[in-house]
Structure 1
Amino acid sequence: MHWLFGDQLGPHFLRPAEGSGLTRDTPLLMIEARSVFRRRRFHRAKAHLVLSAMRHRAAELGDRITYIHADTYREGLDRAAGKRRVTVHHPTSYAAVRLMRRLPQVTVGPARGFLVPMDDFAAWADGHSGRSLRQEDFYRWVRQGRDLLMDGDGPAGGRWNFDHDNRRPPPRDASALPVSAPYRPREDDIDNEVRHDLDRWVKDGDVSFVGRDGPRLFPASRAEARAALRRFVEHRLGAFGPYEDAMLAADPVMSHSLLSSSLNLGLLDPAECVERAEAAWRAGQAPLNSVEGFVRQVAGWREYVWQLYWYFGEEYRHSNVLRHTAPLPGWWNDLDADDVRAHCLHTVLAQVRDTGWTHHIPRLMVLGSHALQRGWDPAEVTDWFHRCFVDGYDWVMVPNVVGMSQYADGGRMTTKPYTSGGSYINRMSDLCGRCGYRPGDRTGKHACPYTAGYWAFLDRHRARLEHNPRTARAVRGLDRLADLTELRRRARTCGDAPP
């Protein structure tokens, strides 16, 4: 019997391979354990998506699969398999790996759903011993190894990275963005069943959720995921690159693919995503800068985050070199956007509340930056992102939040903290125009909380950041601030109130 987890739902998880124990006739098992939803207060849309995807996959597999509703994984395994031998693909979290090791009848095989075997990455990383494991170096290595966007021995177009071409601010007229609407699925009887079950669990007091449960916005089946990929490549990829770092209040999706949840559920194989994007470029259907930007997200960043999660080890999640220990306030944990006056944070937090999703720049430069400036505990921030995003998993959020967003590892993953004043948000979005705060003001009644927070953060960590080549110049700017005393006072008194 082979056990499929809820993030191993695509056909590439069932392909027979030597040593896997899988054949075309191997009986399959899937366990829906309610205890998962007791451990964390997940976003309701995320719980709905995961359960809908699992049940859709079970319906597709028919009599071949045993689908168990259980209180815990161990209970479900005992009921379905007893002492029978069970195989699994490598799980996607340390907690799941520990559980598998405690189950004597379970044999864990290699991971699937990623481009690079973990042993190959470890060998590459060990070869960089004493040097930074730069994502750009890894990205080039992956492209060379998979002959991805290559012209002979060199990169397509003569450049490895078109990031410089992909930093345009949004058009002044939001309606001028040249992009078709994204793929959106239609709910069915399985979704109705999931919603009924979640309502019952809440009514019974068994679990609780955050966020709103609107219509399902993301694919829950292989067919839906393929349709979403096809629509993105054929109708949206061309406009993706230039505006991938821009933000619009009325259009949180813009040109983004919305494929992260499908990739992380295993409904899509990353290889098919990047290969289809490359084929569009070679056919003259999408510009190279957009295709390279998308390939970099999947074959570069997503793959890099997965590999670092395992390479750095489980203790990495506890990194906290900045010694940030403030707890997350209640309004943040409850996604209470209505109490937030700062228009950018209000808008993005409302997007999370209503959909369980925003794209990478609001995550990093609005949500993550605010948490970093306030000095919130990075472990709590990581857990919040895990719970509140439909594409959030432990392996996704530990490196993304601990390493990049909160700089809690002191630079093992990135070369500087990713935070800014309001000027960056003003330049890259239309979110500041309707705000009562002014992005250029550090103090006073119209002081932008991001501008004030940025300088207070630099001041608080001056001793560390003044020696970093990428932050030293900004730190020297502290000595030119006539209002530094007022900034420090503001930082001490802001507390955990929403800005």
Structure 2
Amino acid sequence: MHNRVMLLRRWLFADQLGPHFLDDPNQPVLLIESKGVFRRRAFHRQKAHLVLSALRHRAAELGDQAVHHRVETYRAGLTQLGESVDVCHPTSRRARDLVRSLPEVRMLPPRGFITSPEDFVGWADERRGTLRLEEFYRYARRRHGVLMDQGGPLGGRWNLDADNRQPPPSGAARLDVPPPPAIQEDEIDEAVRRDLDRWAGEGIRFVGRDGPRRFPATRAEAVARLEHFVAHRLPMFGPYEDAMLAADPLMAHSALSSSFNLGLLDPMAAVRAVEQAHRSGAAPLASAEGFIRQLLGWRDYVWHLYWYFDAGYRATNRLAARRSLPAWFADLDADAVGARCLADVLAGVRDRGWVHHIPRLMVLGNYGLQRGWRPSDLVDWFHRCFVDGYEWVMTANVVGMSQFADLGRITTKPYAAGGAYLNRMSDYCGGCRYDPRRRLGDEACPYTAGYWAFLAGSRERLHGNVRMNRALRQLDRLEDLPQVVAQEKERGSRAP
């Protein structure tokens, strides 16, 4: 007779919902819905809906295999259960500290990522200084054998980013790609919406607008969207991944970040599916490489940096950005904004809880960088307002990349740009009240003026950054720079 190993009940957090978080398909499960989580922060209404819908759909799928508690706190749920459990390493320090404080809970290594913590730490410790995505990405490609050919990168180049920076097609309002499979709400979604309405009446605050669920809450929905993306949208993803069109917020992006971050999809399985699409001739290498770089590279990279850097990294602020987020931005009041790009992107956050990575970086983050908003406030805002937002996702993304608050610990230059960039990579400037060529006066583009004012205010801190030398030298050629700086100072926190 074979001795069967008795598996502990697996506690699944709401971002650990896929089958790869279980050791056995029949393993007993604990799901805890903590109402207290939503009291601590004002989350986007659609984010709250998606998380609760995903958790409840998973409970319905598992049936009697799962115990599902709806309680005020995680501790209360564990007390009601009254048995020992194990759990995969949580994705936040707060949750990890909670798990460590519970004697009845055994913590396992993390899942849902590709490179192991041990491998990342070994790689990072050897650098003894700056940690660059490109170096990690090449390490991960070798380590996991992705897009490799006889020990080198498939096609002869590691990074095809230069091929993936095309502006949107001239005159096009939308990309010519089929939309992803539609999401069909069900009775679980209806119950979630009723509960959130009741919670709002009890004083739990949300931001953003309610709306139909737009993102997968089940593994079946997520897999259907991944398969559709690989078959129909991936070829166009690469060339236009940095482009923006006002009438096409999705472009050719997969919009699967929330599905990966809820744990519905295994990232390595997605990497292999995209790799196979290229090897079979269904997708160009530049598109496959661009998507894989985001998943195998950037997503794993920011996850590991969250743990590798100490908790104080979130408060890093070496550009001395001290301004609070203005109310119009914090409350997603897009109607108060006259600048077409910022108004449209902020409305996208308000109405969908999602915009793709270039509006996040070059419209929202760029504006905050120019205005000197506190990076830690922006980390919290992105965490709360995006359906795919988590502390581990946003810390390095905002502090290190978007706001350059660590002065180059992970990136080589600030992602600051004026209106010329937005005019080249989008259709926003047509019909806008502001002129991207102007930096002074009533028609001055707030991004163009803000760019030069930011450089003027950060000159000493950016001195010595070789990638900024040319831009900093241009400051001395701007005869109207004092007026531009005064203009932007007077603008203050007003909506542009």
CA contact (8 A) 2:337 2:343 kept: yes
- How far apart are the structure 1 equivalents of 2:191 and 2:384? 22
Query: Shift in Å at residue 26 of structure 1?
Result: 3.6
Q: Does 1:192 align with 2:227?
A: no
Matched letter for residue 157 of structure 1: G
Q: Distance in 1 between matches of 2:150 and 2:176?
A: 33
Distance between the aligned counterparts of 1:128 and 1:56, measured in 2? 43
- What does residue 17 of structure 2 align with? 9
* Alignment partner, residue 102 of structure 2: 103
User: Percent identity among equivalent residues?
Assistant: 60
How much has 1:25 moved relative to structure 2? Answer: 4.5
CA contact under 8 A between 1:118 and 1:307: conserved in structure 2? yes
Residue 155 (structure 1) aligns with: 153
Residue pair 1:183, 1:231 contacting (<8 A) in 2 also? yes
For residue 68 of structure 2, give the secondary structure of its aligned residue in structure 1.
Answer: strand
- Map residues 14-53 of structure 1 onto 2, 5 A cutoff: 14=22, 16=23, 23-53=24-54
Greater CA deviation, 389-398 or 24-33? 24-33
TM-score normalised according to structure 2 size: 0.97
Q: Point out where structure 2 has 5 or more consecutive residues left out of the alignment.
A: 1-8
AA aligned opposite 2:190: N
Map of 1:57 onto structure 2: 58
- Structure 1 match to 2:294: 297
Contact 1:386–1:393 under 8 Å retained in 2 = yes
After TM superposition, give the deviation of residue 178 of structure 1 in Å: 2.9
Deviations 1:76-98 (A, max 9, x none): 111112xx322110000111111
RMSD: 1.0
> Does the CA contact (< 8 Å) of 2:316 and 2:406 recur in 1?
yes
Q: Give 1:89's aligned amino acid.
A: C
2:409 is matched with 412
Residues 25, 232 of structure 1: alpha-carbon distance in 2 compared, 3 angstrom cutoff: closer
Shift in alpha-carbon separation, 1:117–1:337, aligned structure 2, 3 A: same
Show CA shifts across 1:285-343 (max 9, x none). Answer: 11111111111110111111111111112111110111111111111111000010000
Q: How far, CA to CA, are the matches of 1:183 and 1:444 in structure 2? A: 46
Q: Choose which of 179, 183, 200 in structure 2 pairs with 1:202.
A: 200
Which piece of structure 1 moves more, 192-201 or 166-175?
A: 166-175
Q: Which residue of 1 aligns with 2:232?
A: 235
The equivalent residue for 1:19 is none
TM-score normalised by the chain length of structure 1 = 0.96
Alpha-carbon distance in 1 for matches of 2:221, 2:27: 26
**CA deviation digits over 1:60-79, x for unaligned, max 9?**
11101100000111111111
More moved, 232-241 vs 121-130:
121-130
Q: 1:367-389 CA distances to partner (integer Å, 9 max, x unpaired)?
A: 00111111111111110000000
Q: Helix, strand or coil for the counterpart of 2:143?
A: helix
Q: 2:93 aligned with 1:90, yes or no?
A: no
Amino acid at match of 1:78: T
Choose which of 163, 166, 170 in structure 1 pairs with 2:164.
166
Q: Could you report, residue by residue, the CA deviation over 1:197-246 in whole angstroms, capped at 9, with x for unpaired residues?
A: 000111122x1111111110000001000000000000100111000000
Cα distance between partner residues in 1 of 2:127 and 2:320 = 28
Q: Aligned partners of 2:372 and 2:461: how far apart in 1?
A: 15
AA at the equivalent of 1:276: A
One-letter code aligned to 2:110? A
Is 2:32–2:69's contact at 8 Å kept on the other side of the alignment?
A: yes
AA in 2 matched with 1:201: W
**Structure 1 residue 24: Cα displacement:** 4.9
Aligned counterparts, 1:463-474, within 5 A: 463-474=460-471
CA distance in 2, matches of 1:235, 1:478: 46
Give 3-state SS (helix, strand or coil) of 2:320's partner.
coil
> Is it true that 1:114 corresponds to 2:122 in the alignment?
no
Q: Deviations over 1:459-481 (max 9, x none)?
A: 00101213100111101111000
Give distance in 2, aligned partners of 1:152 and 1:213.
51
Q: Number of matched residues? A: 488
1:52 partner amino acid: S
Say whether the 8 Å CA contact 1:337–1:349 is kept in structure 2: yes
Summarize the alignment of residues 25-424 of structure 1 with structure 2, pairs less than 5 Å apart.
25-81=26-82, 84-130=83-129, 132-175=130-173, 177-205=175-203, 207-424=204-421
